[in-house]
Amino acid sequence: MNDNPFAPPRDDSGSHGETTATDTEVSTVRVHESAPATNDTVELPPAISPQPAADETQEFMPPAEPPADVPVAAAAPQPGRLRRSTVAAIAAGALVLGLGGGLGGAWAYDSLTGDDTAAGSTSSSTTGSTLPTSSSSTIARTDENTVAAIASAVMPSVVSIENIQNGQEAAEGSGFVIREDGYLLTNNHVVEGSDNDTVTVVMSDGTEYDGAVVGATADYDLAVVKIDKDGLTPLVLGDSDELVVGDDVIAVGSPLGLESTVTTGIVSALHRPVTAGDTSSTAFIDAIQTDAAINPGNSGGPLINSAGEVIGINSAIASLGTSSSEAGSVGLGFAITSNQARRTAEEIIATGEATYPVVGVMLDSTYSGEGVKVADTTNAVAAGGPAAEAGIEPGDVITAIDGRVITRSEELIVAIRAKASDDTVVLTVDRDGDTQDISVTLVPNTDVTYQDSGEEDQGGLGGGGGQLFPDPSE
């Protein structure tokens, strides 16, 4: 993927998202470029891919990454420095307009105040988590949690990541420290395709380190990078389940190569079903929507709440442009929730890879009625899978999950992907006119196989709501 902070992830491993099925086929659900975008589902094309033809339009598109061959900036590395990849790409007039808007947002946000409690830099121990928790803040607290105070505390832990391919910088994004012993979190699309799974990590003070990609998943668009450095200050991953629409947030990262950039906004919406990727890989994200300015290069950077905690990982934007080169902030940014990021990061650190939860069913991609329909075919419900054990049957129509109304397959997929394996969800099912609630305990996608292929589940329903969601064209 390119340095576009919000380009969709791409996965060459063959792992896919939730799936819908035609009567006879099973494959990963993929959104066709020609398919119209719905009001609340953001579809993002692959970050590194041929540009669409001039007469093609895409309502939502990942922002373009800064060109890699732009002249090098003369200034020495330091906080706030202008990266070489963007010096020639930004006009003075645009900078004036952009900075004016940013300062206005900062003045509005500076009215925020918080508690003056100081918290030490410790690691979590009560939950078994290896990452910092809200009860063990790792940043020095200030008397007031204004934007300036939060930015000052957070920025030393935010990094820029340069993706080197064939000896040249192919992409640039952001990331942040999650453990004091050198572990960093970013987007999969920021590090994807890097030479020897190695990236260049630039700290806020300009110091550079070689970063090894510990593991990555295109299913969640997340990656963990390790640098050889101890004594770092990790950012706290807060509880994203506590967010409400209207909460103030701060985005920190390196948009267009401008390191240590801070923008402000609010949580505009929650549980926004965002699909990012191409026909070879699709990430399903139960996203936080924000109007904080997010641009190419912000990908992988933290979205911070008013307590100075990370509650999201900036990952995608909606764009009015018809190509990724025209993409930029229009006040519609999307972030992966911190709770999801914590589960995935810990799994990658422990095993080098990540799984996702599934229920083991195939959905009927041709169904257009209320809710989503389990395909009415023999193998639509994986034998021995969670759905089969719970009593889900082919032809059932799922209308809600945990009381949350479902109208499209993407909504069901992201809702399941947002859970953890062994979690129990309640599916509201309509069967022959009768409505019933059925409890289903989720399992990892690696635990579900399908009789027709003999392969592990690689989708979302099989791995989150059930089985893979085959593309109607396959």
Cβ atoms of 222 and 174 within 8 Å: the answer is: no
CB atoms under 10 Å from CB of 309, counted, come to 24
Residue-level length of the chain: 474
The secondary element (H helix, E strand) that includes residue 275 is strand 261-278
Question: Does residue 16 have an active-site annotation?
Answer: no
Q: 363-364 and 333-337: which strand pairing?
A: unpaired
Question: Does residue 210 have an active-site annotation?
Answer: no
Contacts (Cβ under 8 Å, ≥6 apart) of 439: 390, 424, 425, 426, 427
130 SS3 class = coil
Q: 333-337 and 310-317: which strand pairing?
A: antiparallel
Instruction: Say which of 299, 306, 319, 329 is annotated catalytic.
Output: 299
The alpha helices in 300-453, defined as continuous H runs, are 338-351, 386-390, 409-417
Nearest to 342 by CA among 117, 44, 62, 134: 134
Q: Which amino acid is at 175?
A: G
From the number of C-beta atoms within 10 Å of its C-beta (0-12, 13-18, 19+), residue 159 rates as: buried
Question: Does residue 189 have an active-site annotation?
Answer: yes
Instruction: Say which of 189, 240, 254, 319 is annotated catalytic.
Output: 189
Instruction: Say which of 3, 11, 219, 221 is annotated catalytic.
Output: 221
Cα dihedral sign, 277-283-286-288: negative
Q: What is the DSSP string of 317-334?
A: E--S-SSGGG---SS-EE
Residue listed under structure tokens 């295109």: 218
Residues 49, 250: Cα–Cα separation, whole Å: 30
The catalytic residues are 189, 221, 299
